[in-house]
Amino acid sequence: MWFAGPAPQTSPIRHGLLRPGFHLEPGMRVGLLGGSFNPAHAGHAHIAEVARRRLGLDRVIWLVSPQNPLKDARQSAPLSQRLASARAMAARPAMTVSDVETRMGTRYTVDALRALKARFPGVRFVWLMGADNLATIHRWRGWTDIFDLVPIAVIARPGRLAAARTAPAARRFAAARLPSSQALRLAGQKAPAWVYLRARLNHASSSAIRAAANPPHS
């Protein structure tokens, strides 16, 4: 089962939205890469850089979530550690790591996007995600609203091509998909609009890194 109805705003927006920790000008093309980053790894950096280059973005903001509602909080490192790991991986031009979701008090991506669009009118936001997220985004609260709020770029991830092609989101928004040759136009498109970007695959994953750091006892 997957829910396609509209999602009312569920999180109170705190005054921290007035001090987001970064400055954006109208007309900027800004990619938003959300995630737990538990920890951040080279795969995240790969997605961010591919999107920056292929979409012609002025900046990519890594949105480090307070806690993914779909994941077990007991397996998450403290926010400070996850921010530090993201900053280490995003240490390159045009990359910004942010805790703005914590500042705003939002729990869900759809609420964060609504708040950022209201705070920065005229900025051309693009939501960035790996193909693994496209395969499961229909489980997110307000996922159809997310597609209607901002253009979306999906970057190839290992072993996810088939699942991404047949995902409920890919089927529902099939008519809104742009060919990859038009990726530079995406930020200026009216949502819903999305593109699938093939790129050299990066096999890093947070779960594999955590498993290697905490091997099971024999």
Domain spans of the chain, in order of start: 27-203
Do residues 76 and 65 touch, judged by C-beta distance below 8 A? no
pLDDT band at 190 (very low <50, low <70, confident <90, very high): very high
Q: Which residue type occupies 210? A: R
Check whether 212 has a pLDDT greater than 50.
no
45, 156, 154, 127 alpha-carbon torsion, rounded to 10°: -10
pLDDT surpassing 50 at residue 214: yes
14-42 exposure pattern, b = at least 16 Cβ within 10 A, e = fewer: eebbeebeeebeeebbbbbbbbbbbbbbe
Please state, rounded to an integer, the average pLDDT across all residues of the chain: 84
* Separate counts of helices (H) and strands (E) for the chain: 9, 7
What pLDDT was estimated at residue 157? 72
Q: Are 16 and 100 in contact (CB under 8 A)?
A: yes
pLDDT higher than threshold 60 for residue 3? no
Residue 206 reports pLDDT greater than 50: no
Burial of 141 from C-beta contacts in 10 A (0-12 / 13-18 / 19+): middle
pLDDT greater than 80 at residue 174:
yes
The pLDDT of residue 208 is above 50: no
Length of the chain: 218
Q: What is the dihedral of CA 83, 146, 184, 61, to 10 degrees?
A: -10
- Does residue 146 register a pLDDT over 70? yes
- What is the arrangement of strands in the sheet containing 59-64, beginning at the earlier edge strand? 95-98, 59-64, 29-35, 124-130, 152-155, 194-197, 177-178
Please, which pLDDT band fits residue 1 given cuts at 50, 70 and 90?
A: very low
pLDDT above 80 for 92: yes
Which CATH code for domain 27-203? Answer: 3.40.50.620
Question: What is the C-alpha separation between 58 and 200, in angstroms, rounded?
Answer: 22
Q: Round to the nearest angstrom and report the end-to-end CA distance of the chain.
A: 38
Query: Which of 147, 191, 198, 187 minimizes the C-alpha distance to 171?
Result: 147
Q: What pLDDT score does 73 carry? A: 56
Categorize the per-residue pLDDT at 210 as very low, low, confident or very high, splitting at 50, 70 and 90. very low
Q: Please, what's the b/e burial string for 77-91 (b: 16 or more CB within 10 A of its CB; e: otherwise)? A: bebeebbbbbbebbe
**pLDDT > 90 fraction of the chain, expressed in percent and rounded:** 64
Share of the chain above pLDDT 70, in %: 77
DSSP label at 17? G
Looking at residue 89, what is its pLDDT? 95
Task: Answer yes or no: is pLDDT of 170 > 50.
Answer: yes
pTM (2 d.p.): 0.84
